[in-house]
A and B are shown apart, each in its own frame.
Chain A
Amino acid sequence: MIMNRRSLLTTALTLGAMKAFPGLSFAQARPLVFATFTGSWEEAHKAVLVPAFRKANADAAIVLDPMLSVDQIAKVNAAKANPPIDVMLHDPGPALIAIGQDLVEPYPVEKSVHYKDLIAEAQEPMGPAPFFQVVGLTYNPEAVKTPPTSWADLWKPEFKGRVGITNLNSTLGTGWLVEIAKMRGGSEANVDPAFKALEELKPNLAAVAANPGALATLFQQGQIDISPGNFNAIQILKARGVPVEFVAPKEGAIAFKTTIHIVKNSPNRELAFKLIEAALTPEVQTTLMNPPYLIVPTNSKVTMGGEIARVLAKDTAELKKKFVFQDWKKINEQRSAWIERFNREIKI
């Protein structure tokens, strides 16, 4: 996801204006505002989730306002009393920040019909996970004849100058670093082994991309042949005919819980709850699991099928076995120090 100068400027201006004139954002009846992510998430939500929600709620008015997690937090933070967003969507790191800054409401679990059907990892009382993002190994099958099986394969001498990674600004980059640390005897609290491993990876590194989107496009240019990658980002490229495949490493694919939250002080609390309920239904999750979306479901009543069953898991039990969930509370404690260290040490 790229943030351009203009959107940065707009955010900055908005923030400034709203702070200077709190009256600008006066409370009034407005449609439900759902801040989804940009790109394929927005498309999926517009095509599937929004119609399902409107059908179940007498055509209630809803607006999608796609933006990055960090921007959602900034916007809500700037107007805590009258938040411009009702429903936020977050990666695990930003979710904890939003909860820590007291920006979200606990999910009314006792009122929810579907919450109890979610697999245990998706049941988050501050905001459930309607889907997972999965990170594994992505490779170009035309250049890499034997599919990789382990994170350790990235260090193979045959991939000299062919490996791509992202820096730690992204959830993907940070999550991957933690997984490498675990592989080498470290943990969420100790990533020293991962930094040592990165040092050894340098001869193989062709690119350190600024974000996961930029990383995925490097396959298109033949700049890299193998990298840690996001399952959904790869599907978009595959659909466009780029030779790229996803495989879950034997250490387990990293699953990020993408959680959905009711914003504190939202004037549309009830509708926000209804939207999240819609996102948790087996019907919506099944549609989103099918092509072209291929979004990994969290409701245990959804029967896995298609590409997800083939590449990731046939059912919830296998999914739990093959997926690795990370402790982002621990990760967040030291993440800024890691980013600082990555800035200094990784120069290729």
Chain B
Amino acid sequence: MGTAPASRDVTSYGMGLAAPLALFFLLFFVAPLLQLFWLSLHNDTAGLHWGLGQYLHFLTDPFSLGVLGSTLLLGAEVTAVCLVLGFPIAWLYQRVGPKLQTIIILIVLLPLLTSVVVRTFAWIVILGRQGIINATLQSLGIIDTPLKLLYTQFGVVIALAQVQMPLMTLPLITALGRIEPNLDDASCSLGAGSWRTFFRVVLPLSLPGVIAGCTLTYAAAITAFITLSLVGGGQMLFMPMYLYQQASTLQNWPFAAAISIIFLLAVLAVVSVFTTLGRLSRGHGGA
């Protein structure tokens, strides 16, 4: 077979492989982002006077900070609902037979197969004054007048939780699938109850999935412009709508740019809290 070529380390890799995507990101993500940042450093809408006025305006205005706060809080609520509802499904998925597994994965994926607009409109039909929930409660005689569900924070959280659920469930399924099943038995045979096993073994080992799911759900929930505006209505102001209002209706691009940058940093901060928590608890779990 002739002489083999000079032996190469098969584990080495060339960064060049990432070049096409990196170039794409550089052009269509980093460059516009820098442009956005540049724009946000101007005090007037025409972009002629440099200054930090837009940031000062936002950070010293209790109303704007309130919008930011309520948006971040909304994300936390949605993430919590998704986690609480999604974890049992993911856990179940790893324990049922293949037939049920197919059904579960289908149900989890189903929302992804329809557009966000359609899913959100379905929620309008469900939550509306003459919607499914109100009609059922009324026919059962539980309530006399329809409850106000649409255009409330409650409605937004529920709708967003359903719309973003796959982003939570899928990483959880993967993470739980990686846990060695014998560990459960080992824990039991060593005298731990099922709850103790869950909190001391399963939960710590599934944390990478929990963190990934939470990060994805959180980021998707707080930027969900369509669902926020259709289910939340025009008087519940969250960051995406605030941004749109300033950029489009008022053509105040520098302020809109500053809002974007602040929003971006706030989300990054929350996400890094998630990852730090994950790292800390992983250390704890391994100890």
Contact = CB atoms under 8 A, between A and B. Distances in A.
Interface of A: 2-5, 8, 12-13, 15-17, 19-20, 68, 70-71, 73-74, 97, 161, 166-169, 173, 206-211, 214, 217, 221-223, 335-336, 339, 343-344, 346-348
Contact of A222 (B32, B116, B128): B128
Contacts, number: 101
Interface residues of B, number: 36
A206 B150 CA distance: 9
Given A4-B117, A210-B241, A214-B230, A223 B248 contact: no
A68 B31 contact: no
Nearest to A215: B234
A169 B244 CA distance: 9
Nearest to A344: B63
Nearest to A343: B237
B249 A339 contact: yes
Contact of A169 (B117, B124, B131, B234): B234
11 contacts: A4-B116, A5-B223, A5-B225, A15-B32, A16-B31, A70-B248, A206-B148, A209-B234, A336-B252, A339-B250, A348-B151
Interface string B233-245: 1110100011011
Contact of A223 (B116, B129, B223): B129
B62 to A, nearest CB: 10
A208 B35 contact: no
B230 A16 contact: no
A208 B233 contact: yes
B31 A20 contact: yes
Interface of B: 27-28, 31-32, 35, 63, 116-117, 124-125, 128-131, 148, 150-151, 223, 225-226, 229-230, 232-235, 237, 241-242, 244-245, 248-252
A134 to B, nearest CB: 21
Contacts of A5: 223, 225-226
B152 to A, nearest CB: 10
B151 A208 contact: yes
Given A211-B234, A346-B235, A3 B128 contact: no
Contacts of A168: 249
Nearest to A71: B248
B129 A4 contact: no
Contact of B226 (A4, A12, A20, A167): A4
A325 B141 CA distance: 50
Given A16-B35, A336-B250, A166 B234 contact: yes
Contacts of A336: 250, 252
A19 B38 CA distance: 13
B151 A221 contact: no
A348 B28 contact: no
Contacts of B131: 221
A339 B233 contact: no
A13 B129 contact: no
Chain B contact residues: helix, strand, loop or mixed: helix
A166 B233 CA distance: 9
B28 A223 contact: no
A16 B237 CA distance: 27
Contacts of A17: 27-28
Nearest to A346: B235
B28 A16 contact: yes
Given A16-B31, A70-B249, A214-B234, 9 more contacts: A5-B223, A20-B27, A71-B248, A161-B148, A209-B234, A210-B232, A211-B234, A221-B131, A336-B252
B245 A221 contact: no
B181 to A, nearest CB: 40
A344 B117 CA distance: 28
Contacts of B128: 221-223
Contacts of A173: 234
**Central interface residue in A71, A73, A209, by most chain B CB within 10 Å:** A209
Contact of B63 (A3, A343, A348): A343
Contact of B250 (A68, A214, A217, A335): A335
A13 B29 CA distance: 8
Given A221-B125, A221-B128, A223-B129, A210 B35 contact: no
Contacts of B234: 166-167, 169, 173, 208-211, 214
A143 to B, nearest CB: 11
A210 B230 contact: yes
Nearest to A68: B248
Contacts of B251: 70, 73, 97
**Central interface residue in B27, B124, B251, by most chain A CB within 10 Å:** B251
Contacts of A207: 150-151, 233
**Central interface residue in A17, A68, A343, A347, by most chain B CB within 10 Å:** A343
Nearest to A209: B234
B230 A12 contact: no
**Central interface residue in B116, B232, B233, by most chain A CB within 10 Å:** B233
A166 B117 CA distance: 20
Contact of B245 (A19, A217, A339): A339
A119 to B, nearest CB: 29
Contacts of A68: 248
Contacts of B242: 343
Pick the 6 closest A-B CB pairs, nearest first.
A16-B32, A167-B234, A221-B128, A208-B235, A222-B130, A210-B229
